[in-house]
Structure 1
Amino acid sequence: MSESRTPSQVLRDARQKDSRTKRARVLSVVDQLVADEEPVTFTGVARAANVSHWLVYADGVREHIEAARQRQSRTARAEARGQAKAPAGWKVEQEIVREQNRRLRAEVDHLKGVVRRSLGQQLNQLGTADLGARVDEITDEKKKLQDELAQALTRIEELTGKLTEAEDDLASTRTSLRRMVRSENQ
């Protein structure tokens, strides 16, 4: 049997869970910023993760952010060295390609949204059409069953009438038979 927890234990467990969730969200935001090649700053991470500034400076989180910043600065220095050796035309072309990539990403995001909305509308229309057809089908089935029920009730009434008639004939035949037996016996 499990031991009941006190309110303070429940509160402590909830706070620990909330802290783990927020820390995980911060680490996820840092990784996302690094992947998107966005600058990693303490304030930017706090805003993006929707947590307090205190948390991004807390032990365990601060080290992760600082490591990401160091990786970015090393990458930036390496790129600067690589660009220093590259001809000036390449730098311009690189910027053009980056701008095209940003534009294409935005267009892809827009098109994904359009496709989602279109599919949603199609599903809604499909569902509505199917429901209408199903309602018509059920209505037809109901009418058919009601007709069959009416026919069955009519048949029951006919058979009940015949049964009553047959029972009356049987009763009268028995009565006649009894009279005949009595008259024979006398």
Structure 2
Amino acid sequence: MSDRTPAEVLLQARRRDSQAKRGKVLATLDDMFRRGDPVSFTAVAKRAGVSHWLVYADGVREHIDAARTQQDRKPHRDQQTGLAPSTASLNTDLELTRTDNSKLRAERDQLKAALRRRLGEQLNQLSNQSLVDRVDELAEHNQRLAAEADRLRTDNDTLRQRLAEAEEDLTGVRAALRRMMHHKNTADPAG
């Protein structure tokens, strides 16, 4: 058995996939340059069948920039030999880019619509019964709280009444004590 975790296995597989894609991009770039095809990031990505972000990644971008620089150095010779891109070729590239953009926008719109449908389905799954159950639960809770509040009010009234009685008793005891002390002081003047 291997001591590698699933995450390590996945990471290694991704690295292999990334290296294979980078190798494919570089091979495509060499082929395009050898044939004299105009090198651009979009053209390389399209021909290699990879995403645009990969051709701009470190380690790939530099090769494409170098190929473009080499192609830029020979425009006069290419123009003379007919290898420079024609206006029709540039227009074709522009149209292909516009088509790609349209496809991407359509895909984005489809994804948005799918997300809206999914959210709508989730909202519909909350049935009326669950809402009624929740209202009933809240009403029951409210009744319990109202009963508790009434009980606490009654307890509070009882405690206030007891406190008033205790204050009256204390006042009476104080008065009796004063009378007793006064009587004791007046009864025994020698003390």
TM-score in terms of structure 1 length: 0.41
TM-score in terms of structure 2 length: 0.40
Tell which structure's C-alpha radius of gyration is larger: 2
